[in-house]
Amino acid sequence: MREILDHLEKLGRADDTIVVILGDHGESFQAHGWLGHTIRVDQDMTHVPIMIRWPGHLAPAEIDGAVEIAQIGPTLLKLAGLPHEDFGLAKPLPLTQADSAQDASALTRTLRMGCYTGLLQGKWKYQLDHRTCGETLFDLSADPGETHDLAPREAQALAAMRSALRARFDAIGAAKVPHAMLPRQLIDETEAALRSIGYVQAATGLAGRDGNRLRSAAGPTKYKHDAFGDLQVFQPCARDGAERCLHQLP
């Protein structure tokens, strides 16, 4: 990365080039008994860095608060002075501490190997299992490792987070934009391109090797071993599973 930035300086383009560095997902190495990614929505899989550099335009700052990777698109458009309203509910990132909304929340989902939705708001992290409609609640300020589920004894906070997630899904439905982050045409074109190279398919991923006791989020369904002996699990997850659970829960 340093070489890229140095090259931009040599070209004299550093001041008119926006550089974004981010992680698309984390990785679990036996945290909570899981291996890999796209399995759950624990912090080790979803808490990733986002760094934006634009010398002469963005002052150095560290922004607190929950944000989503989907917000990078409208952020770049806004910085470039271009329309960014077509990104549905995904708004530009706060670029100063003063802009950081106190009630900001971040939504994360996994529908490939696991069936979970997570919502981060303030100190609370809420997780919903689409298959069982089970709920967990963590206070990340006191428990960043998500080791103590407070759902059984924090009824008020649990209800508030459940209500907040319902509101998010209601807003997504009202926006009529798939995933509330991209225009329909762009999603269709991207999905077609990914399908053409075999990337979009039924849920797959690393679940473990023969003989070990790693848990698989997809459960005992159809299995396949690849050339390396890794166990892959195929079980599509219903895209509306979270909404159905929220309809059933109090």
At 236, the pLDDT band (50, 70, 90 cuts) reads low
Structure pTM?
0.74
pLDDT at position 160: 97
pLDDT at position 183: 64
Comparing 63-67, 113-117, 147-151, 176-180, which segment has the lowest mean pLDDT? 176-180
Q: Say what the alpha-carbon torsion angle 79, 81, 83, 86 is, to the nearest 10 degrees.
A: -10
Q: Which amino acid is it at 240? A: D
pLDDT at position 173: 81
* Rounded alpha-carbon distances, angstroms, from residue 250 to 119, 138, 159, 214: 18, 19, 8, 33
pLDDT at position 129: 92
Give the mean pLDDT of the chain: 79
Closest CA to 205 of 214, 216, 193: 216
CB-count exposure of residue 139 (10 Å: 0-12, 13-18, 19+) = middle
